Homo-oligomer: A and B are copies of this chain.
């Protein structure tokens, strides 16, 4: 154990060399830092044969959220431990962690250099048919095997304690559930939709539902979530996709992870009303996105149901009527959290390129308004929508 110090490129090279057998000839390594520098340092260490690894180090502060905001480097432990656990449960779609050093808050991990960030690709109108099936597999496996269906009470409680993650959860509690529904200084509201945002702040029916969703986020440790499954945390190439950035991981409601991803696919869908002018191209991409939303839920549900019926270790929870109701509740939660994601990415602090990169202000306003409208309806109607097909019908209906 050494004391914490901020890495230089030299430190990062030494760290990578020391904790992997990939390099050998130290003198031939090179290293560049390419993180945004607000939350973490991210280094790529590469040798003369082109073999490379990533060194990620948590900084003891985060400038991304409002003011200078001190953030514990404990989040590097959360990130490393969630990724290690998720990788055991779903090796194909979780980035590999090779080493974690607690004192340095540094993680050595595989370099996904043949992958690209999913959000960027979707904004550019790229399509990947393996997206939804693979992510459904990731979600079903990581969430099922960390749930009460698979773990004993004591084992689960030990993990709940291991992943309390109070500091990063608080960020979500505030940014996701609180700020968008009041006039908070952290909000970031495009002038075109100022009036629509105002309506949120006086919508008591909506706020009651958001309160319930927040209460679930606070007090429903159903499974070990990734905690931040947006399309910027997913790397993809033509064959595969992998999750990174698990520092928001904690024990929470299963629907939060599924809903965050669903919400992000819908944000891209709505964004393309402004991003893509050619009607036919747009239609094709939007059809693709809705089919991914559909497949994501259908595959997730199918796999989770199979796991419940074949792998349930908790006798009381083997009851099939209960399992049916459980997955139905996860569906409702998924819609609710997806709705929250649509709203907070439109009026809250942290926006997404799917909307923000629409250059025409009026078009951007139109997409943003659709996001608020769809978000609201998903939250309010989540207990009535009988299945994913009804959700798609609602999405299509509201776009007009």
Residues A317 and B211 in contact, CB atoms below 8 Å apart: yes
- Cβ proximity bits A134-177 to B, threshold 8 Å, 1 near / 0 not: 00000000000000100011101110110011110110010001
Residues B218 and A148 in contact, CB atoms below 8 Å apart: yes
What residues on B are CB-neighbors of A218 within 8 Å?
A: 148, 153, 156
What residues on B are CB-neighbors of A158 within 8 Å?
A: 164, 166
Residues A182 and B148 in contact, CB atoms below 8 Å apart: no
Residues A166 and B157 in contact, CB atoms below 8 Å apart: yes
Closest B residue to A169 by CB, please name it: B153
Most buried by B among A154, A158, A165: A154
Number of interface residues of A (CB under 8 A): 44
What residues on B are CB-neighbors of A319 within 8 Å?
A: 204, 207-208, 211
Closest B residue to A156 by CB, please name it: B218
Distance of A166 Cα from B159 Cα, bound (Å): 11
Kindly identify which residue among B148, B154, B160 contacts A160, using a CB–CB cutoff of 8 Å: B160
Residues B178 and A166 in contact, CB atoms below 8 Å apart: no
Distance of A152 Cα from B319 Cα, bound (Å): 36
What residues on B are CB-neighbors of A209 within 8 Å?
A: 322
Residues B153 and A166 in contact, CB atoms below 8 Å apart: yes
In the complex, whether A334 has a CB less than 8 A from a CB of chain B is no
Closest B residue to A154 by CB, please name it: B166
Residues B181 and A153 in contact, CB atoms below 8 Å apart: no
Residues B215 and A317 in contact, CB atoms below 8 Å apart: yes
Chain B nearest CB, measured from A128 CB (Å): 34
Residues B153 and A215 in contact, CB atoms below 8 Å apart: no
In the complex, whether A321 has a CB less than 8 A from a CB of chain B is yes
* A166-B158, A315-B178 known; A212 vs B322 contact (CB < 8 Å): yes
* A205-B321, A207-B316, A211-B317 known; A153 vs B173 contact (CB < 8 Å): yes
A-B interface, 10 closest residue pairs, ranked by CB to CB distance from nearest: A154-B166, A211-B322, A208-B321, A157-B166, A208-B322, A157-B164, A161-B161, A211-B319, A208-B319, A148-B218
**Chain A residues engaging chain B, CB cutoff 8 angstroms:** 148, 152-154, 156-158, 160-161, 164-167, 169-170, 173, 177-178, 181-182, 204-205, 207-212, 214-215, 218-222, 315-317, 319-322, 325-326
